Structure 1
Amino acid sequence: MARTGNGGTGGNGANGGPAGGARLRPARRPELRLPALEPYDGAELEPDGDYDGLEFRDVDVAGQDGGGARFMDCALTGCGLDGTRLHRARFLDTRLTAPRGVGTDLAESTLRDVEVVDARLGGVQLHGAVLERVVVRGGKIDYLNLRRARLKDVVFEGCVLVEPDFGGAELTRVEFVDCALRGADLTAATLRDVDLRGAAPLEIARGVDRLSGAVISTGQLLDLAPVLAAEAGIRVEG
């Protein structure tokens, strides 16, 4: 099971970000304590299946349908997820280590008290999903679709995100730590207590006007100056 550390305190301003002089509220991280796990028997995933206290090790579930399934107190290690359908699945108190695959469908799923470590994923569909107390550590994820998702107490740490789509998403207490954020789309997103200072590079392709509620560094501000000027209609001439 997961234990959660307490975050810091601090009021919010009217725009959803930290109030003047208030401390940014950090994300609360999951602290997983998995029980002794039973090895998974290798059977094909079942829609609405119930998986409790299992270890999926080097299991290839490419193309299988686990829509609506529940994974609780599980460890998935080295699993192949190419085209796996996990629509509306629930991952609770679970660790995914070195998952790999393209086109994994996790739309409208729930991830709560979850660690994702050293992922190698592309085109993951997480639109409409709910992520709460989640750490994504290491690895690379291309074209991560988080449109209209709700992220609360989420940390992206030491990973590379290429063209992630946060369009219309709600981000509350989200941190980017030693993380590369390339070509992010923040169109219509809502940010509250979002710490972007550890993102290097920080590249916002669209939605730079939605950065209210986030904290960036002075260096990042200078890097974003051309995009911010263009958004504000400012003409800059040397």
Structure 2
Amino acid sequence: MALHPPGLLKKLKLHHDWLESLGRSGRQLALEDDDCTGLDFSGRILSQASLPGVRFDKASLKQVDLYSSNLASASFSGADLTEADLTRATLDYASLNDASLRNAKAFKASFIEVDMRGADLTDANLTDAYFVGADLERAILRGANITGATLEGVRLFRADLTSVKGFERVSAKWIDIGPEESPIRLEGDQLRDWLVCAVRGKAH
């Protein structure tokens, strides 16, 4: 992993002080469109950070705390977010293709128009998460908890939903299970029947 540039290290320290002092000292971390490709943020507490458009491609964010952070339009292509805390985080229009979110916590996180093609969400906690227009082609959601999640216009072509928990309690008006060039829209009973088959590993 690449080393953090001195300027970023200073901002990370100021953010730590800002959190510890409840805003009385330090400064909230605010980056926009910065390039953090390949950097190691493992275990860092970055909750409530403002990071729109930041590039975290192939970065290590294992067990990072991004609670309630603004990650809109950020890029996490190939990044490792294993066991990351994305509770209440905003990831609208972000790119997480081929990222690892195994065992990540994304309770009430927002994923509007997010690109999660090929992402690994095995055993992730997606309770009450908000997925609208999200692309989850080839995404792996084995054992993930989607209780109370919103799946509105989500694309699930070749997604693996085996043993997903809480699928009976999702809010889903329609989903797309077809390839990009030939959408297959499901709603109502067809959608529910497909989900049942998908969770049993029998969807086609």
Q: Specify the TM-score bucket, using the shorter chain as the normaliser.
A: 0.7 to 0.9
Match of 2:23 in 1: none
Equivalences for residues 197-208 of structure 1 within 5 A = none
Match of 2:172 in 1: 191
Q: Which structure would you say has the larger RCO, counting Cα contacts within 8 Å and 6 or more residues apart? A: 1
The alpha-carbon deviation at position 74 of structure 1 amounts to 1.7
> 2:96, 2:119 within 8 Å by CA — same for their partners in 1?
no
- Closer, same or farther: CA 180–224 of 1 in aligned 2, 3 Å: closer
Any gaps of 5 or more consecutive residues in structure 1?
1-39, 199-210, 228-238
Match of 1:57 in 2: 37
Any gaps of 5 or more consecutive residues in structure 2?
20-27, 180-185
1:154 aligns with 2:154: no
1:166 aligns with 2:157: no
Equivalences for residues 113-132 of structure 1 within 5 A = 113-132=93-112
Q: Which runs of 4+ in 1 moved over 6 A?
A: none
Deviations 1:124-148 (A, max 9, x none): 1101111111110124221121101
Match of 2:157 in 1: 177
> 2:119, 2:136 within 8 Å by CA — same for their partners in 1?
no
- Closer, same or farther: CA 131–82 of 1 in aligned 2, 3 Å: same
The alpha-carbon deviation at position 91 of structure 1 amounts to 1.1
> 2:122, 2:144 within 8 Å by CA — same for their partners in 1?
yes
Match of 1:112 in 2: 92
Look up the SS of the partner of 2:197 in the other structure.
helix
The alpha-carbon deviation at position 217 of structure 1 amounts to 11
The alpha-carbon deviation at position 87 of structure 1 amounts to 0.2
Q: How high is the TM-score relative to the length of structure 2?
A: 0.74
> 1:71, 1:90 within 8 Å by CA — same for their partners in 2?
yes
One-letter code aligned to 1:100: D
- Closer, same or farther: CA 70–214 of 1 in aligned 2, 3 Å: farther
One-letter code aligned to 1:194: I
One-letter code aligned to 1:93: S
The alpha-carbon deviation at position 54 of structure 1 amounts to 0.4
Look up the SS of the partner of 2:169 in the other structure.
coil
The alpha-carbon deviation at position 120 of structure 1 amounts to 2.3
The alpha-carbon deviation at position 196 of structure 1 amounts to 4.1
Between Structure 1 and Structure 2, which shows a larger proportion of strand residues? Answer: 1
Deviations 1:61-91 (A, max 9, x none): 1111110111122211111112110000111
Residue correspondences, number: 174
Give me the whole-angstrom Cα distance separating, in 2, the residues matched to 1:214 and 1:155.
22
Of 176, 197, 202, the match for 1:224: 197
> 1:195, 1:215 within 8 Å by CA — same for their partners in 2?
no
The alpha-carbon deviation at position 168 of structure 1 amounts to 1.1
Q: How high is the TM-score relative to the length of structure 1?
A: 0.64
Between Structure 1 and Structure 2, which shows a larger proportion of helix residues? Answer: 2
Match of 1:14 in 2: none
The alpha-carbon deviation at position 159 of structure 1 amounts to 2.5
